[in-house]
């Protein structure tokens, strides 16, 4: 499951949500790469550019793979988001984790802060469900 989750992460499948997508979806998972996160809310699509700021690739009793991106100018938020897969080899448990910190960058994000927070929480839930689908047999 760990290797399947890595493949899904590299394909940006955690963004394959219908209302959020990464573009282009074949952006290499490498430090410095730029990806656009497109999202739809209240009937409007918006584009937010991000740059991959680091990669996590650790082998050991708990192996980890993931990456983080930071927002670029023009993004509605200012911050960073990390996507991480962890595998406890002893217990054979695999986890998907998102860690994000941000603050409103544009006036519209400040004005609509309660809506932005709800969308961030929805993204977390939907992203976890997308990753589960990606690694489930027959998905």
pLDDT, tens only, 80-125 = 999 999 999 999 999 999 999 877 666 666 667 777 778 889 999 9
* CA-based end-to-end distance of the chain: 13
Q: Is the pLDDT of residue 139 over 60?
A: no
Task: Judge whether 77 and 50 are in contact, CB under 8 Å.
Answer: no
- The residue among 118 and 68 whose pLDDT is bigger is 68
pLDDT tens, residue by residue, 33-45: 999 999 887 788 8
Confidence tier at 52 by pLDDT (50, 70, 90): very high
At residue 23, the pLDDT reads 92
CATH 3.30.530 holds for 2-135: yes
What number of residues does the chain have? 139
User: SS3 for 29?
Assistant: coil
Question: 33 — phi, psi (to 5°)?
Answer: -70, 145
């Amino acid at each position: 499951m760990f290797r399947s989750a890595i493949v899904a992460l590299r394909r940006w499948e955690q963004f394959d949500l219908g209302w959020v997508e990464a573009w282009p979806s074949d952006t290499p998972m490498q430090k410095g790469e730029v990806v656009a996160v497109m999202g739809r809310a209240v009937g409007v699509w918006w584009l937010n550019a991000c740059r991959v700021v680091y990669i996590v690739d650790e082998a050991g009793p708990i192996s980890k793979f993931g990456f983080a991106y930071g927002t670029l100018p023009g993004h509605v938020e200012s911050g960073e988001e990390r996507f991480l897969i962890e595998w406890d080899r002893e217990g054979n448990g695999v986890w998907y984790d998102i860690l994000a910190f941000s603050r409103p960058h544009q006036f519209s994000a400040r004005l609509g802060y309660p809506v932005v927070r709800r969308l961030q929480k929805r993204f977390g839930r939907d992203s976890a469900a997308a990753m589960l689908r990606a690694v489930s047999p027959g998905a």
